[in-house]
C-alpha cells in the first residue's frame, strides 16, 4: 500500500506539470487591470489571487475529468516504475498491472487530485511577475488557453486504457500536446517565470 501511495503521488505531481496547458468548458481566469498594462503593474495580492484562481480551475478540471486524469496518472506511474531503481513496483508486476493499480487507487479516492499550489507557491508566483512587462491581456489569454489544453488532455486520456502502455495510443492520436498554446509563445519568451506549472 505504501508503494501504491508513493508512486501514485509522484505520478500525479508529474502529470500536473505535463498537462498544464489549456481548458475550455467555461473554465477561465479573469485578470484585473487594463489589458494593455504590463503584468507587473498588478499588486502582489492581485497576482496571488490570479495564481490561486488558476490552481482552483485546474483542480476542477482534473475532478470533472477524473477518468482521464486517473488514466494519465496510471500510465505515468507505470512509466516511472519502468525507470527502475527507486521507482520499481512489487516484484513480478507488469507495467500494465502497475497502471491498473494506480488507476484503481485514483478512482477510489480524491487523494491524488489534491490542489498542488500552496500559498507559498502563489506568493512565489507573484514575486516572479515583478519584472514581467508582458501585457496583462496576453498573459490572461495564455493562462486560459493552457486551461483549455489541460481539459482536452484529460478528456483524451479517457479514451485510453492501461493496455496502451505497450500498444501506444490509437493511430494518429496523441493525448499530450508537445507545445504550449500559440498565445503563450510571446509570454514564455518574455516572462518564462510566470508560466503556470
CA distance 155 to 4: 24
Query: Cell numbers 479573469 label which residue?
Result: 30
CA distance 143 to 149: 10
pLDDT at 72 over 60: yes
Q: Residue 113 has what pLDDT?
A: 59
Decide which of 58 and 41 is more confident: 41
Q: Which three cell numbers stand for residue 38?
A: 504590463
Q: Which three cell numbers stand for residue 181?
A: 498554446
Model pTM greater than 0.85? Answer: no
Determine the average pLDDT of the residues in 11-17.
44
Determine the average pLDDT of the residues in 110-121.
60
CA distance 67 to 71: 6
**Which range marks the domain in which residue 114 is found?**
2-194
pLDDT, the chain, mean: 77
Question: What's the structural domain count of the chain?
Answer: 1
CA distance 136 to 146: 15
Determine the average pLDDT of the residues in 78-82.
72
Amino acid at each position: 500500500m505504501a508503494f501504491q501511495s508513493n508512486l501514485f503521488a509522484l505520478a500525479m505531481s508529474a502529470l500536473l506539470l505535463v498537462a498544464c496547458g489549456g481548458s475550455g468548458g467555461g473554465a477561465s481566469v479573469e485578470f484585473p487591470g487594463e489589458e494593455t498594462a504590463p503584468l507587473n503593474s498588478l499588486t502582489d495580492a492581485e497576482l496571488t489571487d490570479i495564481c490561486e484562481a488558476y490552481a482552483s480551475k485546474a483542480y476542477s478540471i482534473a475532478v470533472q475529468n477524473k477518468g482521464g486524469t486517473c488514466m494519465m496518472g496510471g500510465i505515468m506511474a507505470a512509466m516511472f516504475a519502468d525507470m527502475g531503481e527507486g521507482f520499481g513496483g512489487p516484484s513480478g508486476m507488469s507495467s500494465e498491472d502497475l497502471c491498473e493499480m494506480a488507476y484503481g487507487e485514483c478512482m477510489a479516492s480524491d487523494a491524488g487530485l489534491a490542489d498542488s499550489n500552496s500559498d507559498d507557491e502563489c506568493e512565489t508566483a507573484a514575486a516572479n511577475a515583478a519584472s514581467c512587462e508582458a501585457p496583462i491581456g496576453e498573459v490572461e489569454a495564455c493562462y486560459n488557453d493552457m486551461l483549455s489544453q489541460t481539459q482536452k488532455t484529460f478528456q483524451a486520456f479517457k479514451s485510453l486504457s492501461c493496455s496502451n502502455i505497450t500498444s501506444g495510443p490509437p493511430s494518429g492520436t496523441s493525448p499530450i500536446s508537445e507545445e504550449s498554446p500559440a498565445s503563450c509563445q510571446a509570454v514564455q519568451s518574455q516572462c518564462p517565470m510566470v508560466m503556470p506549472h
